A and B are shown apart, each in its own frame.
Chain A
Amino acid sequence: MSSHSHYHRLKNKWIDRHRNVKNIIWEKHQDALNWAINSFPAKQLVAGSLGGMLLLSAPSITMLPKSPLLLTKEQHAQDLDTDTKLMLDLKGKIPSDVRPLSLDEEESIAEILTKDFGFRVTSSVHGKKLNRSYGLIGYEQHLVLFPGDTIYSHFENDGEFQKFSSAGMAPGLSAWRYFAFSKHALTQKDILREKYYIAVQTFLAPGFDEHVAEFRNFFKYRKMLVINPENGKAIVCDIADAGPSPWTGKHLGGSPEVMSYLHRVDGAGVGPVLYFFIDDPEDVVSLGPATIR
């Protein structure tokens, strides 16, 4: 038998063991574990060994202050395997401090991500790149989809309203104004572009000042893969706004839905993400949560 078969045989057995013990602990001590999830700040949980257990095994994540996406136990079990694999693949490739990556680091990480996700991930497209590809992500508000869009017309269903309306609407329009000219003209693609948007510092991109119009067109709805390296959560986003201002100390912003999925928060708990372009000229990569192959 090949060594690869050894690995898969053992891995599958241990994944089963892991699932079983997770199910057991949740069945036996559900009340206490749910109490812990709802009682302790997310940052406190993430840092400790209790968090390691709860974050990797909870049937639903409810401790994040900003409207978490609810996941089933089965989804979590599956996520553990894929998210863990991604974390391990990236281990040792990401600096301990949040700083711009070197070209070598970017290339190395892009190569891993391309291999893991099955689509081309890169720090630059057609020679254009952002000011950085690893930085602190802040919390953005919902963007106005069409003229007259408010927090009450913004969501597709009550569930989303309940989860995400507390973030509120951004006071102005996005860098590219409306996603659609009217509610009637709004497409599913427009909705997803707003739901999974990020704001990046387009204005700090090398060459932006010399080619403003060209760069604005380039960045508009450009797809990016955003990854929380601390939990392996990855999501395909699009650039739909410019920001944040450099003085904030943050390097990009995520929609409430993006932040919830990544388990990232703003304020004192602000944390880093990787953000790399997806080279998708045929527009075949879907926006939203992404898992490795």
Chain B
Amino acid sequence: MKPIRQAQGKHFYSHIIELESLFVHIEDLEISDGEKNHLRLLADSTIHHTIIDAILSELNTEDKKNFLHILSCEDHNDIWRFLNTKVDSIEEKIKKVAQDLKKELHEDIKTAKK
């Protein structure tokens, strides 16, 4: 059974981290579609790296490897099952780092428009 993966987006955390509000602001920029795509991809990848860093920072050496192994299998249920047993309040921690970064990215967009 892989309902989370199939129903809720490409990343295992896509159901708790919304990027639409960020992408809407990118969409409002008067630039080409290719340029918008480039910005979206940079934002998405930066958030992804930040979340993975936050998770790995909570794990010991062996569990880092276990997590990367589970992550490579792309079964989102297994990923959450593992994280919930290894890290307290992992969902909140992921939401927090993503939210902080999104706020900074929003500010970057505002600044760039000035």
Task: Judge whether A6 and B39 touch: CB under 8 Å.
Answer: no
For A, the interface residue count at a CB cutoff of 8 angstroms equals: 42
Q: How far is the CB of B20 from chain A (nearest CB, A)?
A: 18
Task: Judge whether A49 and B49 touch: CB under 8 Å.
Answer: no
Task: Judge whether A88 and B29 touch: CB under 8 Å.
Answer: no
Please judge, given known A-B contacts A44-B72, A88-B37, whether A32 and B56 are in contact too, CB under 8 Å.
yes
Task: Judge whether A31 and B61 touch: CB under 8 Å.
Answer: yes
Question: B100 within 8 Å of A by Cβ?
Answer: no
Q: How far is the CB of A54 from chain B (nearest CB, A)?
A: 9
Chain B positions within 8 Å of A15 at CB level = 42
Question: B52 within 8 Å of A by Cβ?
Answer: yes
Chain B positions within 8 Å of A152 at CB level = none
| A-B contacts at CB below 8 angstroms, number | 113
Question: B88 within 8 Å of A by Cβ?
Answer: no
Give complex CA distance A55, B42 in Å: 14
Closest to A80 in B: B45
Give complex CA distance A6, B30 in Å: 9
Q: How far is the CB of B8 from chain A (nearest CB, A)?
A: 13
Closest to B35 in A: A7
Residue interface bits B48-62, CB-to-A below 8 A is 1, else 0: 111011001100010
Closest to B44 in A: A52
Question: A84 within 8 Å of B by Cβ?
Answer: yes
Give complex CA distance A7, B37 in Å: 11
Task: Judge whether B56 and A10 touch: CB under 8 Å.
Answer: no
Give complex CA distance A35, B61 in Å: 11
Name which of B31, B43, B109 has the most chain A CB atoms within 10 A of its CB: B31
30 A-B pairs (CB sep. < 8 Å):
A3-B30, A6-B30, A10-B112, A11-B35, A11-B39, A14-B42, A14-B43, A17-B46, A17-B104, A18-B46, A21-B50, A25-B52, A28-B56, A29-B53, A29-B56, A32-B56, A32-B65, A36-B69, A44-B73, A48-B73, A48-B74, A49-B10, A49-B74, A50-B68, A51-B72, A53-B45, A84-B41, A85-B38, A88-B34, A91-B37
Residues of A at the B interface (CB closer than 8 Å) are 1, 3-4, 6-7, 9-11, 13-15, 17-18, 21-22, 24-25, 28-29, 31-33, 35-36, 39-40, 44-45, 47-53, 56-57, 84-85, 88-89, 91
